[in-house]
Amino acid sequence: MQPLVLYDILSDLPGNNWSPNPAKPRFVLSYKGLPFVTLWVDYADISIAMKAIGGKSSKRPDGSDVYSIPVLSDPNTGAIITDSLEIASYLEKTYPEKPIFPNSSESLIRAFDSDHLGLIQPTIRSIWTRSMEIMSPATAKFFMEVRSQDVPLPWDANYDEDWALLEKGYNTIYEWYQKTDGKWLMGDTFSYEDIIVACYVLWYKRVMKEEEWARISSWNGGKWVQVLADVEKECKLA
Ligand SMILES: N[C@@H](CCC(=O)N[C@@H](CS)C(=O)NCC(=O)O)C(=O)O
């Protein structure tokens, strides 16, 4: 089997990785035990690089084309897949061993993906502010220019209201975890839902200031540090 190729986003951090969307396919590939290599792309070059390999485009609010990461290229089948959820779906269909959508749960997990993002999206300007700090100045400038089309400036990582909203969002996710008997959102059955939750927590751990990460780590009795550790272990990334 030839290694699959995952396109992820470069940063100044040791080991590069930070962004939650490419983290999700990295966790899935590792969980399923599939061989893969990662190609790191600067955020400012994503559109040029993904257009060149045949990634799918969508539109920015100003009507211009945007190509996004993650993209997965599978030399075993010739497939080039854009979007973390579509990549998860492709990997599940093509490599069904070690399911991430157990018991025909893909449609429910698609709904979960959107509900989960809906809890984080209102606070995203603060997390984006921290994410810009791990990019080169030119890339951070590009990031702010393009992403401010989605969330108008000013952004700041200290907005009390963002922190209150983020904590409220995690209280909701905590309630979801409390409804099950096992350690996963589906009880004793591991699924892509837990990967989604862990990859966002990993983002905070990677980009936030030490005291901000300590604050998140204290929420819900340390639940989020535990979920991240459990998912990393399950996916053989720890
Ligand atoms: N829904 C997509 C979102 C992907 C996305 O927003 N990717 C960002 C980086 S995390 C991107 O590539 N942006 C390119 C740009 O804004 O130029 C997914 O889950 O893969």
Ligand 1 in contact with 68 (CB < 6 A)? Answer: yes
Residues 6+ apart with CB under 8 A from 230: 183, 194, 198
pLDDT-derived band at 218, boundaries 50, 70, 90: very high
Handedness of CA 174, 176, 181, 182 (dihedral sign): negative
- Per residue in 109-146, pLDDT (tens digit) is 999 999 999 999 999 999 999 999 999 999 999 999 99
Q: What is the CATH number of domain 4-94?
A: 3.40.30.10
Q: Are 112 and 38 in contact (CB under 8 A)?
A: no
* Atom of ligand 1 minimally distant from the CA of 20: 10
C-alpha 97 to ligand 1 mean position (Å): 28
The CA distance from 200 to 116, in Å, is 10
Token pair of 171 as six digits: 């209280």
| Reported CATH class of domain 103-234 | mainly alpha
Residues 6+ apart with CB under 8 A from 237: 26, 27, 30
The CA distance from 43 to 64, in Å, is 16
Question: Average pLDDT, stretch 62-67?
Answer: 94
Where are the alpha helices (H) located in 69-209, listed in sequence order? 84-94, 106-120, 124-132, 137-147, 160-178, 192-207
First to last CA, the chain: 24
User: Could you state, in order of their start, the residue ranges of all structural domains in the chain?
Assistant: 4-94, 103-234
- Per residue in 181-212, pLDDT (tens digit) is 999 999 999 999 999 999 999 999 999 999 99
pLDDT, the chain, mean: 97
Question: Average pLDDT, stretch 150-161?
Answer: 89
Query: What pLDDT is attached to residue 130?
Result: 97
Helices 192-207 and 210-218 cross at an angle (nearest 10°) of 140
Ligand 1 in contact with 126 (CB < 6 A)? Answer: no
- Per residue in 6-49, pLDDT (tens digit) is 999 999 999 999 999 999 999 999 999 999 999 999 999 999 99
Q: Is the pLDDT of residue 157 over 80?
A: no
